[in-house]
Amino acid sequence: MVNLNKMKNLLLICEGPTEIEFCKKILFDHFKNYKINLSYILILHSNGGIVPWEILKKQIEKHFNDDKEITISTFIDYYGIYSHHKFPNWDLAEIEPNKTSRMRILQDGMKNDIDDKIKFIPYILLHEFETLAFSEYDIFEELYESNEARLNKLKEICDDNPNPETINNSKETAPSKRLTKYIRRFKKTSDSINITKNIGLAKIRIKCPNFNDWITKLENI
């Protein structure tokens, strides 16, 4: 007989400390409501930071061998992945102009390259974690005084990008670079977590469809 009250185990392999803090302070309690016990770990080989797909794949397989019942997912940024990382379907994805479709192509490639017996839900965040911080402009006004941030510039970015996942991923205009540019003494992990926590998971999910699709899949493991 299936125990419907049994907690399911979910492991997120995270790219860096900001994703780890987001799991700890926001996602852990959320998934607890779905009878899911969330654990999280950095990419082992680099202790954070993207690695070639084959190295990440070996980590996924290792965690499965440690616990055959666990569901494993990735929480990594698209920004920073290059051709030399050799992610499956990379060449096919790069010729796809629509970024949402591009992520699906890459994620499908990752899924198809993992043994079917492993419960694996791939996710690549478009374009990086700090994307989520642009889900609600009002939070910038609540958290920062006018002498601490260029609020007009932050509002302009939010207004121009109703879906924050479309914010450009170049080295100069990536979401994290914009936050660093327009918020004085911006601290990547602590400020990003404070902003997203104040926005709230529900609002982020409304504004960021790829992120919402991922959370929905995890809720239904």
Structure tokens at 135: 């889900």
Residues 51-59: contacts with CB under 8 Å, at least 24 apart: 51/85, 52/84, 52/85, 52/86, 53/85, 53/86, 53/87, 53/88, 53/110, 53/113, 54/86, 56/13, 57/113, 57/114, 59/13
Stated pTM of the model: 0.94
Contacts of residue 175, Cβ cutoff 8 Å, sequence gap at least 6: 127, 128, 130, 131, 133, 134, 164, 167
Q: What is the pLDDT of residue 85?
A: 97
Structure tokens at 201: 């998971």
Residue 176 pLDDT more than 50?
yes
Residue 1 pLDDT more than 50?
no
> Residue ranges per domain, the chain?
8-127+209-219, 130-201
Q: Assign 3-state DSSP to the chain and report helix, strand, coil percentages, each to 5.
A: 50, 15, 35
Residue range 118-140: mean pLDDT, rounded: 97
Instruction: List residues bridging with 39 in a β-sheet.
Output: 11
For 8-127+209-219, CATH number? 3.40.50
Percent of the chain with pLDDT over 90: 91
Q: Which helix (H) or strand (E) holds 103?
A: helix 99-112
Q: Does 80 or 62 have the greater pLDDT score?
A: 62
Cis link prior to 84 (omega < 30° from 0)?
Answer: no
Residue range 85-113: mean pLDDT, rounded: 96
- Separation in Å, CA 154 to CA 77, 111, 150, 164, 201: 22, 36, 7, 12, 20
Query: Which of 111, 136, 150 has its CA nearest to residue 197?
Result: 136
Residue range 80-103: mean pLDDT, rounded: 95
